[in-house]
Amino acid sequence: MGKPTGFLEIERKTVAEDSPLERIKHWREFKIKPDESQQREQGARCMDCGTPFCHTGMLVSGMASGCPINNLIPEFNDLIFKDRWEEALDRLHKTNNFPEFTGRVCPAPCEGSCVLGVIEPPVTIKNNECAIIDRGWAEGWVTPQPPQKRTGKKVAVIGSGPAGLSCADQLNHVGHEVTVYERADRIGGLLMYGIPNMKLDKQEVVQRRVDLMAEEGVKFVTSTEIGKDIPASQLQKDFDAVVYCTGATVPRDLPIEGRELNGVHFAMDFLTGNTKHILDTNHDGSLPEISAKDKDVVVIGGGDTGTDCVGTSVRHGAKSVVQLEIMPKPPLERQPDNPWPEWPKVYKMDYGQEEAAALQGDDPRQYLVMTERFVSDGNGGLAGLDIVEIEWGKNEQGQFVPMKKEETRKTIPAQLVTLAMGFLGPDERAFSELNLEKDPRSNIKAEHEKYTTNVEGVFAAGDCRRGQSLVVWAINEGRGAAREVDQYLMGVTQLP
């Protein structure tokens, strides 16, 4: 490394942000562009550790450890420190088609497995990655690179989320004619509508990359649902290969009394409607159909989706925001049963909780709480929730189950509830026509690293194959599926 003692001399310093009370006034990204000298210093903190776990991309105890797309992290950190930014961008693009996405929304499992993180705060890998690609765009280093020749093979990609886009990008670069089908009115899948604008700008970041891919020759078809607007069998006739990248879009429901009341919504309906409204109205300040303004809002569920619901509700002008989690509050530090290089399961406040706390005085999350009933206002609307505290214990079969603390039952006010409890699998309408086999979790059955289904010439990748996961895993799978499709079409492949 360029500065072997950097990790001893330089403290971790993350990218600055607008204050919570300022950023809730707008829908723009709130991270402040870092000073170049600061970012170079942060690159110098990368140790010459000899055994870098940051780019391993393993699953340890069922969680990602290291970068799933095997970014060449020590190399680009060193190149940043040496002020060789364009070379750093070249290293980054070798493994990652869309570092401007992952540099903004990835939870950074690379940092959780950073060797320096064993004894000190880890290297700011995610910030460094974002700085490289943002500078690349600013300097004009990211330009259309259409293939020099075409193979004459045609591939249909169903779904334009991170898996579909990375698959299409890879296949296009080796000369295949790629058409991406998206049922929404804009390209991007969860990148466009599942992640709020303040985390990932739609025009300046997502659409910019989509436009570049279009200039390189990828064809995009929007507002077209396969299985409804176009039969899947028609794609089989028109294309040499078909790749399903439809995501895991069926949300987990909470079928308790009062579920039918007006005011109870799936988180994705709330978030998608909000982003679409912002884009359609060009940030005119009006509110979408599902609005949190002046309402007591309860978010049921945690994770990124729950956080996004909190941050969105705060920006609408919610009267109050409460987030209920059925799991216990994480510890402040790693526990003995959660050793490095596992993902650190520790307590932290994400942007949405920080914003709610700045307004309300405390973290909006309540742990070990179960919702028993949605309470009606007498006119078909939602008035509140009956909740009860729980503890986890073993039943007679030895299974861990929630046990209610009867004395803790109470009703809390709510006129809007968002259900952010995860996703069950892909929408079957897109692939049921082809009789694709499903695995026990209702995902499309396709072997990892092969991505082939039971139907000749049909492949599957991303969340519709592996289940709900991270953007970076979707990119990994899209790239892997592209490699297998290229091998299938040409007999050989040079794709990584």
On the question of a common fold for 154-249+424-490 and 253-421, the answer reads yes
**How is residue 186 written in tokens?**
């804009």
Rounded to whole angstroms, the Cα distance separating 241 from 429 reads 19
Q: What are the extents of the domains in the chain?
A: 6-139, 154-249+424-490, 253-421
CATH for 154-249+424-490 is 3.50.50.60
* Residues 77-100: b if buried by 16+ CB within 10 A, e if exposed: bbbbbbeebebbbbbbbebbbbbb
User: If residue 181 lies in a helix (H) or strand (E), which one and from where to where?
Assistant: strand 177-181
Report the pLDDT value the prediction gives residue 448, as an integer from 0 to 100: 86
**How is residue 298 written in tokens?**
């309860």
Q: Say which CATH topology domain 6-139 has.
A: Fumarate Reductase Iron-sulfur Protein; Chain B, domain 2 (1.10.1060)
User: If residue 132 lies in a helix (H) or strand (E), which one and from where to where?
Assistant: helix 125-139
Amino acid at the residue 269: D
Token pair 């829908």: residue: 27
Report the pLDDT value the prediction gives residue 96, as an integer from 0 to 100: 98
Question: 17: buried, middle or exposed (CB in 10 Å: 19+, 13-18, 0-12)?
Answer: middle
Rounded to whole angstroms, the Cα distance separating 308 from 5 reads 39
Report the pLDDT value the prediction gives residue 435, as an integer from 0 to 100: 93
Report the pLDDT value the prediction gives residue 112, as an integer from 0 to 100: 94
Is the torsion defined by CA of 28, 34, 35, 36 positive or negative?
A: negative
Report the pLDDT value the prediction gives residue 451, as an integer from 0 to 100: 98
DSSP 438: B
Strand-pairing partners, residue 36, are none
Report the pLDDT value the prediction gives residue 290, as an integer from 0 to 100: 98
Reduce the DSSP state of residue 361 to 3 states and report it.
Answer: coil
Report the pLDDT value the prediction gives residue 106, as an integer from 0 to 100: 96
Q: State the CB neighbour count (10 A cutoff) for residue 357.
A: 17
How long a stretch of residues is the chain? 496
Q: What angle do CA 190, 191, 192 make, to 5 degrees?
A: 90
Strands (DSSP E) found in 340-409: 365-367, 369-376, 382-394, 400-404
Rounded to whole angstroms, the Cα distance separating 126 from 216 reads 27
* Residues 53-75: b if buried by 16+ CB within 10 A, e if exposed: bbbbbeebeeebbbbbbbbbbbb
Mean pLDDT by 10 residues, the chain (496 residues): 87 96 96 90 92 90 91 96 97 97 96 94 96 97 97 98 98 98 97 97 97 98 96 97 97 97 98 97 91 98 96 98 97 93 94 98 97 98 98 91 95 98 92 93 93 97 96 97 98 96
Give the homologous superfamily in CATH for domain 253-421. FAD/NAD(P)-binding domain (3.50.50.60)
Query: At a CB cut-off of 8 Å and minimum separation 6, what does 234 contact?
Result: none
